Structures are given as C-alpha cells and as structure tokens.
Amino acid sequence: MIVLDREKPYKLQVLESLLRRLSVTEHEYPKFQKMYFQLRKGYIGELRSDREWNEIRMPEEHYLLFNYETENELGNINQIDTIMLSRYFVFILEVKNISGRIDFDDEKRQFTNLKDDNTIEVYTNPEDQVERHIRTIERIMRILNIHLPIVGAIVFSNTSTIIGQKPKRIPAFHLSGLNSHVNYLFNKYSNEVVTFEELTILKDYLLEILKRDNWKPNIDKNKLIKGAICEKCSNQSFMKYHFGRFVCDNCSVLSKDVLLESLLDYRLLFSPWISNNEFKEYFSISSAKTSYKLIKSLNLNFKGNNRSRIYYIPDNILSYKLK
Ligand SMILES: [Zn+2]
C-alpha cells in the first residue's frame, strides 16, 4: 500500500520557474539548466521504478513511501528515493538514471560514469547514500523501540546503463531485477519481527516527521524576468494585462491562465506572500485599481488590513478557476 506518493521534487519545480525567468544570456543559465536536466532525469527514473512495484507480489501488510524526506541529526534534509516497510524487514531503494558505463571503486569510495561522449563524470557514491539512509531509519526505529532488519539496494532505471565494477557493500542491479530481489529478501527474512500495529506506528511516525527540502537558488533576484511571460514565443516575451487578459507584446497571443502560472513562479522564486503593490509591480499594471480588482478576483487568503494586506499564493494555485 502506497502511503506517500511521489510528487515532482520541489527543487525541480523551482528550477523550472527559474529557467523561465532567467535570461538565456545570463552566465548562470547553463549551470541551472544542467542542474535541471540532471534532476529531471532522476525524477523520470524514479517514476519508472515506482511502476515496477505493481508487478511485485507483496504481502498484504506493507507500506511504500516514495521520495521520503526528513531532517537528520545535523539538521540537513535526507532524501530517500523509496522505503518499503514490512513486518519482516525494511527495504531502502536508491534509484539511478544514468546513461553510459558506471563503476564503483569501494576503496576510493568513488563512483564514476563514462558517458556516451567519452567524458567521465564523478558522482556521490550511491553506496554511501544508502548507508546514510539506513543509519537514519535505524535511529528513528531506536526512538520507537522497533528493531527490524534494514537492507538497501541500488537500481539502475535506464536499460542502457552498463554496470562495470560492481559495489561490494550494497547490491546494485538493473530495474528489471527488482522483482526477484524483493522475492529473495522475503525468503531470506521470513520471521515476523513486529506486529502490524508496531509497523503502523513506524509508518505514522515517519509521516509525522516528514520534512520537505526548501531549496532556494543562489541568484540575484533582480536578474529574474518579472510578470507574465509568453509561452508561445521562445524569447521570453512580456505579456501586458489588458481588459481581463494578458496579451503578448511580440505575437499578440491572449492568455488568462498565464496569471496563475506567473503567480506560482512568484511563490517559488520570491515568496508565497504578495501585497497588492508587489502584485502591481510584478505584472507592470499601471492602475492600482485594476491591479487590486484582479488580485481580489482570485479570492486568495490574506492577512492584514487595507494597505498592509498581503495575500497567500497556495501551492495549488494552478487549479484555481479564473472568472
Ligand atoms: Zn508571444
């Protein structure tokens, strides 16, 4: 039973907004673009691995948590791709979507990727990642006085990955091997260590201490393009508010929804709170009255009165209905 669904990672959402609003000519653009592509690739691989769980015959009493995040004892966010809880053992899965050849060097704790274009990239060793996650879950179980065995594995979600030198400490294999590996684990750990009630306590506690990463890009906010941006034009053209709609300066396309998309960008890049004045400036609306009418029409929650009033942009702003 899935108790935590995989959502698009917050950092990926921020990067999407950032790339929409950073001019391609800025020197930081390629850095953020690379980050974006890497993260998106990882996310696609994780979605692929989530589907694989449908094919696995599991005991009725189990819980699956996808993209679990919590704070470790040092105050950093630990992000675990997949956790499976059962009455027999806990299983932690690290998913890698990498093309080319990969090699683990246990002595040097090095993880290298020879890419298709013959360049070599070095990444954080997934074995160290899995072991860190195991320690985190062990620490949490100690608090609850629950002592299930914990095992981990690394899967490669890209069928073209060539696994060269294998890791010695943690099993690593292609995604197609997940099914038989989980079966093997259920055979190996066949004793019920905890009751279903204890298992549920562990699941509830993990969900209670879930804490999402609140990543902020290191960039001068003045560099970001404000307001509504045309999606049809490739050159980040400005859209002007005109009688209930936004009109592109360049191609004259009309849009209403761009209001919500731009507010989501505002939330992700600037703040979830916005005053009428900030709203007016952001969208370059010349009339304070027009700006006020528009922000009021969204029926956003707010705090403060009159001039000090600020409105809250919720994370589901895209689902709002525009009049
Ligand atoms: Zn346009």
* Per-residue pLDDT tens digits for 134-188: 999 999 999 999 999 999 999 999 999 999 999 999 999 999 999 999 999 999 9
- Same structural domain for residues 144 and 200? yes
From residue 50, how far is each of 33, 44, 122, 298 by CA, in Å?
26, 10, 26, 36
Last residue of a domain, one of 208, 241, 270: 208
- Same structural domain for residues 230 and 203? no
- Same structural domain for residues 232 and 202? no
Q: Angle CA(130)–CA(133)–CA(136) in degrees, nearest 5?
A: 155
Protein residues with C-beta less than 5 angstroms from the ion ligand 1 = 230, 232-233, 237, 248, 250-251, 253
Please give the structure tokens belonging to residue 87: 């009455």
- Same structural domain for residues 252 and 287? yes
186 C-alpha to ligand 1 centroid (Å): 56
Please give the structure tokens belonging to residue 212: 């999402």
Please give the pLDDT value at position 102.
96
Residue 217 falls within a domain, yes or no? no
Residue 216 falls within a domain, yes or no? no
247 C-alpha to ligand 1 centroid (Å): 8
C-alpha distance across the termini of the chain, in Å: 39
- Same structural domain for residues 18 and 116? yes
Q: What is the pTM of this model?
A: 0.89
Half-sphere exposure of 173 (CA within 13 A, CB side): 11
- Residue 70 corresponds to which amino acid? T
Please give the pLDDT value at position 306.
78
Please give the pLDDT value at position 289.
93
Domain range for residue 32? 2-208
Residue 230 falls within a domain, yes or no? yes
Are the C-beta atoms of 233 and 248 separated by less than 8 Å?
A: yes
Last residue of a domain, one of 180, 208, 236: 208
Please give the structure tokens belonging to residue 120: 């070599």
14 C-alpha to ligand 1 centroid (Å): 23
- Same structural domain for residues 172 and 242? no
270 C-alpha to ligand 1 centroid (Å): 24
234 C-alpha to ligand 1 centroid (Å): 8
Last residue of a domain, one of 208, 239, 273: 208
Residue 161 falls within a domain, yes or no? yes
285 C-alpha to ligand 1 centroid (Å): 18
Residue 220 falls within a domain, yes or no? no
Q: How many domains does the chain have?
A: 2
Separation CA 124–CA 38 (nearest Å): 13
Q: What is the pLDDT along the chain (323 residues), one digit of tens a residue?
A: 999 999 999 999 999 999 999 999 999 999 999 999 999 999 999 999 999 999 999 888 999 999 999 998 888 889 999 999 999 999 999 999 999 999 999 888 899 999 999 999 999 899 999 999 999 999 999 999 999 999 999 999 999 999 999 999 999 999 999 999 999 999 999 999 999 999 999 999 999 999 998 899 999 999 999 999 999 998 889 999 998 899 999 999 999 999 999 999 999 999 999 999 999 999 999 999 999 999 999 999 999 987 789 999 999 999 998 87
pLDDT tens digits along 69-104: 999 888 888 999 999 999 999 999 999 999 999 999
Buried residues in 143-155 as b, exposed as e (16+ CB within 10 A): eeebebebbbbbb
- Same structural domain for residues 194 and 57? yes
Residue 30 falls within a domain, yes or no? yes
- Same structural domain for residues 199 and 230? no
Separation CA 146–CA 134 (nearest Å): 14
Instruction: Reduce the DSSP state of residue 254 to 3 states and report it.
Output: strand
Please give the pLDDT value at position 211.
95
- Same structural domain for residues 283 and 156? no
266 C-alpha to ligand 1 centroid (Å): 20
17 C-alpha to ligand 1 centroid (Å): 18
Please give the pLDDT value at position 73.
82
Residue 12 falls within a domain, yes or no? yes
Residue 57 falls within a domain, yes or no? yes
- Same structural domain for residues 197 and 277? no
19 C-alpha to ligand 1 centroid (Å): 17
- Same structural domain for residues 132 and 266? no
Return the DSSP state at 193.
Answer: -
- Same structural domain for residues 181 and 237? no
Separation CA 113–CA 164 (nearest Å): 10
Please give the pLDDT value at position 171.
97
Residue 3 contacts by C-beta under 8 Å, 6 or more apart in sequence? 63, 64, 65, 203, 207
Are the C-beta atoms of 228 and 259 separated by less than 8 Å?
A: yes
245 C-alpha to ligand 1 centroid (Å): 13
What CATH code is carried by the domain that includes residue 258?
Answer: 1.10.10
